[in-house]
Chains A and B, each alone.
Chain A
Amino acid sequence: MTRRPLEGVRIADFTWAWAGPYGTMLLAFMGAEVIKIESTKRPDHSRMRSLAAGPTFGGPDHAPIFNDLNLSKMSITLDLSQPKAVELAKKVVSISDVVAENFRPGVMDKLGLGYEALKEVKPDVIMLSSSAVGGTGPQRHYVGYAPTFAALGGMAHLTGFPDGPPVPLMGSSDLRSATTSAFAILVALYHRAQTGEGQHIDLSSTETIAVLVGDAILDYTMNNRVSSRKGNRDEIMAPHNCYPCQGNNWVSIAIATDEEWESFCDALGNPPWTKDERFTDAFRRWQNQEELDKLIGEWTINYTHREVMERLQKAGVAAIPSFGGAELFSDPHLNERGFATEVSHPVIGKRKVVNVPWRFSATPAQVTSYAPLLGEHNEYVFGELLGMPQEEIQRLVAEGIIN
């Protein structure tokens, strides 16, 4: 097999929930060896029983959410409330390149696993700490989840229909934060490879969202305007919306130029309303988009969303269905590209999972295994990697240190 880009990089992964684990999983896809440090007393949140885990939940090795966010990783169990376990965690760090964590700021320090302490055992370590609002500032102890990051980061206020409430998105805000973490770690790894120097990275999940509404922030700093929700509409383009189709489905259509508008009208067979003077140029179409959207909707409703897509794309007009989750799995384009793959999990069986989001021509990134069972790699990490004798490992298990 071709060498994957991060082969030889080892990550001691103390992250949990969503915002941490997805970031290190991306690095695992690229070949990093990611060792997740949990304990039976304090397993990753997403292994635990919750409303989100659904009614079929059957224990920490039975959680599909955990599987989706921790593929291709290893798991060891250490009860970090015990000093001996902390020492073992440091040993894992001493043979790692990167440490990632997303506890509340201060927790790693209290455990004796702060950046200064870890630098002692691994001088060139790269440590990424991800938290709700960052590790400095008066609110550093504040806590949150994906929807609160979207709220505090300015995204929720801007997302939604003009006559509806703000929309705090869903879990994706955690994954945005995690993707940003992966980028930051890679930048630090590149720097270390050039200079031998490690460093600490303090990442704020709220800020990872705020940088994505930069244009709205500049509208305020430049023009004092507080932008608000626009639904599916655009500042310039019209039509630019989502239109109803057969089967309770929707299609998105966006038109930028007069040329596209002409093609659009042709594709519809030039019904009289397309020649209406309210729609003769881009500005008028934008001014009268309420009426325009209604008329387009009266046309699209006669077709399926795929029929509209095919007909308009043939004419060079941007029309794509608003796909539902289940539809993605039967879509010919996505299937040809292998957007999803199947993993065989020893407890929950075969699961479809969304695949690696990039295609490398030379060093394929891939899903290599299911998410680890709790403590599945204790033998490998403590025995093989750290070279501890069997008797010692068994004693530590008996003492509840490896637990």
Chain B
Amino acid sequence: MTETALAKVKVLEYAQFVAGPYCTKLLADMGAEVIKIEPPNGGDQARRREPFLKDAPHPERSGLFFYLNTNKLGITLNPNTSTGRGIFKELVKETDVLVEDNPPQAMAELGLDYESLKDINPRLIMTSITPFGQTGPYRDYKAYHLNTYHGSGLAKILSDILPDEVKQPLKAAGYLGDYDSGLSAAVALMGALYGRLFTGMGQHIDISKQESLITLERVEIGMYGNEGFSMMSTVAMQNMLGGLRHCKDGHVMLVIPMEHQWQALVELMGNPDWAQDERYKDEFSRAQHAEVLNNYITEWMSNYTKDEIFHRAQALSCPIGAVYTAEDLLASEQLKAREFFVEVEHPEMGKVKCPAAPYRFSKTPWRVARPAPLLGEHNEDIYCKRLGFSKEELVRMRGAGII
């Protein structure tokens, strides 16, 4: 088996849905051992989320859960029982990183907050991912993905680039803000884990989803804080040359801030006479005539497909990208050549194709060693083999709703 980068790292996940599970998936896919704790009744909420295999809802057939939990070991545990809490603490003793996403007070009420856990494992790095963080007046506010996305400002400032007829705050697709928060948490905890090599010290990391999102538009938001308006809301940017353009079979995205890129676009369109006009001589003068120029460009593009425009433009180093659907992604020669999609065999779902990772490590590659766990799949491994419970005890704990 290939060497993995995080082979010695032990992670305990007590989180659901997207943010926490994506965070630990990133670690598991690089070799960390992740034990995922799910509530005994029904498990992770993501198991009840589409897409389901063949559109038939089933807790072991959610594509979302499948994707977010590769390479993890799955156990069921109810920390609301005292035996459950005891087991949680036993697991924490052997853990480098705990990732949890419960409301700020919930862990303290269970006696499983950082202050309590650091006494049993001073090296523990506990990462808490919540909508608004562990402190501040909104910390106990309820928020789903929609709400954290809007609360971050990203939805409102996105409306700056929308056409007038749909100019409303808009959430990005799917669960983007939750993925973003999981990724942000993964960066923070890897930093803490690296630092611990030198200090031996654990710590608590407080991740606010709201702030994980705000930082991603730090340039725009910074301008609001200093100038009171943003770059994208200025007339100059609203009338930007290029941008999203319609073509024969869909859309392409065109970004051409530099002179040589404009020249490449002109060449792409067959050096039309209008392009030589003195009024279009630089980025600033072109911006003043963006509407006219965009009409010329759209007219030319209406004769070609998004892939024709994309590849011909790129052959001239003109930064155009096709607006791809999931179907287009699967058909992409580039993604095929990079083996971006991998087939993972799952006991309930069969072979399913899913995205791999966006990075290729030359020495310690990403890999799938096991599919997402079935609910409680590794109870016996963890409880009996590792913690020394007998099979009879396992049955009794199951009966008592502990696991």
Contact = CB atoms under 8 A, between A and B. Distances in A.
A194 B8 contact: yes
A334 B210 contact: yes
Nearest to A181: B359
Interface in A317-375: 317-329, 332-334, 336-337, 339-340, 351-355, 357-363, 365
Residue from B49, B50, B53, B161 with most neighbouring chain A CB atoms (10 Å):
B50
B270 interface: no
A222 B352 contact: yes
Interface in A223-240: 223, 225-232, 234-237, 240
A324 B218 contact: no
Given A4-B195, A214-B68, A337-B211, A323 B358 contact: no
Interface in B257-306: 257, 283-284, 287
A3 B67 contact: no
A151 B50 CA distance: 23
Nearest to B212: A357
A11 interface: no
Interface centre among A202, A222, A333 (most CB of B within 10 A): A222
B337 A138 contact: yes
B283 A51 contact: yes
Nearest to B63: A218
Interface residues of B, number: 155
Most buried by A among B146, B244, B352: B146
B88 interface: no
B73 interface: no
Given A211-B357, A360-B192, A187 B5 contact: yes
B334 A319 contact: no
Contacts of B5: 187-188, 190-191
Contacts of A253: 147
Could you say which interface size class chain A belongs to? 35 or more
A201 B359 CA distance: 6
A164 B165 contact: yes
A323 B152 contact: yes
B51 A225 contact: yes
Interface in A357-403: 357-363, 365
Nearest to A353: B222
Nearest to A190: B194
A133 B150 CA distance: 30
A303 interface: no
Q: Describe A's contact surface by its main secondary structure.
A: mixed
A17 B218 CA distance: 14
A219 B155 contact: no
A145 B326 contact: no
A352 B224 CA distance: 10
Contact of B360 (A175, A202, A313): A202
B314 interface: yes
A190 B6 contact: yes
A336 B136 contact: yes
Interface stretch (A34-42, A64-72, A85-93, A277-285): A64-72
Nearest to A319: B147
B92 interface: no
A256 B144 contact: yes
A171 B338 contact: no
Given A170-B157, A216-B174, A236-B49, A164 B163 contact: yes
B283 A50 contact: yes
Contact of A176 (B180, B199, B319): B180
Interface stretch (B35-43, B182-190, B373-381, B386-394): B182-190
A143 interface: yes
B176 A155 contact: yes
A201 B360 contact: yes
Contacts of B185: 358
B156 A154 contact: no
Interface in A186-217: 186-191, 193-195, 197-208, 210-217
Given A5-B192, A51-B237, A136-B360, A168 B244 contact: yes
Interface stretch (B75-83, B227-235, B395-403): B227-235
Contact of A170 (B220, B321, B364): B220
B270 to A, nearest CB: 21
Which 7 pairs of residues, A with B, have the shortest CB-CB distance? A5-B195, A325-B224, A148-B321, A218-B63, A158-B173, A207-B358, A219-B51
Given A140-B334, A313-B141, A334-B210, 9 more contacts: A156-B251, A159-B172, A165-B244, A183-B26, A188-B5, A215-B67, A220-B330, A322-B156, A325-B223
